[in-house]
Amino acid sequence: MPDEPKKPRLRKTSIDGGFDWTFRFEIDDLDLTDPKLDVYLGFDGPLAGSWDIEIKSKDAVATIGLNHDTLAIGQLGQRVRVQLTVCWVAQGRSTPLLKDEFEEEPFPYRDSDEPNKAYCGLSFSVTQEGLDKAEKSSQDTSNVLVPHDVRLSFPHAGTAGAEIWTTSSFLANSSPYLSDLLSSDFAESLTLNSKKRRRRSSPAATAARADAPPKDHADSDDETDELVLDTPARPLVDLEQLPELTYRQITVVSSAYTTYRAVIRWLETGYIAFLPLASTCKPRDPSAQRTRRDEVEATLKSDPEETPALPVSLKSTYRLAHLLQLDRLEQICLAQLPLSLTHHGAAPELFDNASVLYDEWRKVVIDYVVENWNEVTSTTTWVELDERIERDEVPGAAPILRKLMKARDGATQASSAKKGAE
């Protein structure tokens, strides 16, 4: 007897919240070419009530929708940006089938079929040819030369360095910073043939071809680079064995390889995952069960199908998003930050290099400390850090403390005014 067809099942759901919500659904055994496809999959969402994702197909047109049973039309705001991405996931790689974005609209919007129903969804044509093409393109080609014309070189990653191959058009269209970099002399132009390498760049370009100044801070993803690149070693493209080729090269010294790779995958697919902050892991947080290295190793040991992209440092991603002028990714990181902070970890994050340099990052941490004042200030990490500040061992602490006290005074006054009005 033939095997009974598998029913679609919702394998994993994750929701990132704050002022930015990301609903991510990974669905197994879903045949978008099934003409009778009619699936409703319920899940637990951030608001009271019933959530479900509906997937239907009729006449080779698939419809994917997100529903809430009691959410009113426009209840979440009258000017909300909504982005919907559908990806094919195969062999641990995520490839977008389509992406659509709605700017400055009421959300949820009115269902065209049921005017009194709030709805968020999109329709798209499904063909076997399109799915076959997506399956082939789902392979990660960031370490493959052709047809790419830009090489991002990471000379300090791992023990032998690392590289990402991509295209100048993709980078220029994705990032204003990279667009300027590629149009200037900072991107070194190289021509290779089978016998030798020739540079075509100005003297200034050769001396200043790095993407930004070298890192002056600890980068958690350097540890991830070590694990990813050296166990086993990731081979570089043997450029000397290739026929003549011209490409642009950017030497990256400001970010870890794994951070850059994750951001490029996010630009391609809309998917990114974050590791816990180092301040919330052992040994820095005495209440934690695992080190950050444990978290990375657990991910590397998992089934590739369970991990479409390697999770990376939230802080490193924010730094890179800020450098590349990726405003949307910056907002995603800022929305994730308060969910990643803990009472023990808030103190070191407050005086970290990122809080010194980035106003919006610092404000999120300050707001968290103010909202959890008693819990944060009673931790051993806060007491120890306070003693170090007294000994003038924490650079940049004074202006941050002034901003913290100002925010706390403002919160106290607002609370008193509210009580007086009641």
Question: pTM value?
Answer: 0.65
DSSP 18: S
Q: What is the pLDDT of residue 196?
A: 43
Q: What is the pLDDT of residue 124?
A: 61
Question: Is the CB of residue 301 less than 8 Å from the CB of residue 292?
Answer: no
- Return the H-helix or E-strand segment holding 53: strand 51-58
Q: What is the pLDDT of residue 372?
A: 95
Q: Please give the single-letter amino acid code of residue 371.
A: E
Q: Strand ranges (DSSP E) for 159-232?
A: 162-166, 188-192, 197-199
Q: Please give the single-letter amino acid code of residue 304.
A: P
Q: Which of 78, 85, 128, 127 is nearest to 107 (CA)?
A: 78
Domain positions in the chain: 9-137
Please list the pLDDT of the chain residue by residue as tens digits (422 residues): 556 667 777 766 655 544 567 777 778 777 777 778 888 888 887 777 788 888 888 776 777 777 777 777 777 777 777 777 777 665 445 566 666 676 667 777 777 777 777 766 655 666 656 655 555 444 555 555 556 788 888 888 877 788 888 888 888 888 999 888 888 766 555 545 434 444 444 333 333 345 555 555 667 888 888 877 765 445 566 655 555 667 788 888 889 899 999 999 888 877 788 988 988 888 887 788 888 888 888 877 765 444 446 889 999 999 999 999 999 899 989 989 998 999 999 999 999 999 999 999 999 999 999 999 999 999 999 999 999 999 999 888 999 999 999 999 988 888 777 776 66
The sheet with strand 109-110 has its strands ordered as 38-43, 51-58, 61-68, 118-125, 109-110
367 contacts: CB under 8 Å, gap ≥ 6 = 338, 407
Q: Distance between CA 390 and CA 400 in Å, rounded?
A: 14
Tokens 């301040």 appear where? 279
Q: Which of 316, 297, 312 is nearest to 231 (CA)?
A: 297
Question: Is the CB of residue 205 less than 8 Å from the CB of residue 186?
Answer: yes
Question: Is the CB of residue 88 less than 8 Å from the CB of residue 131?
Answer: yes
- Return the H-helix or E-strand segment holding 320: helix 314-324
Question: Is the CB of residue 75 less than 8 Å from the CB of residue 50?
Answer: no
3-state secondary structure of 374: helix
Q: Which of 316, 309, 302, 420 is nearest to 361 (CA)?
A: 316
Q: How far out from the chain centre does Cα 389 lie?
A: 33
Q: How crowded is residue 36: how many other Cβ atoms within 10 Å of its Cβ?
A: 8
Q: What is the pLDDT of residue 267?
A: 86
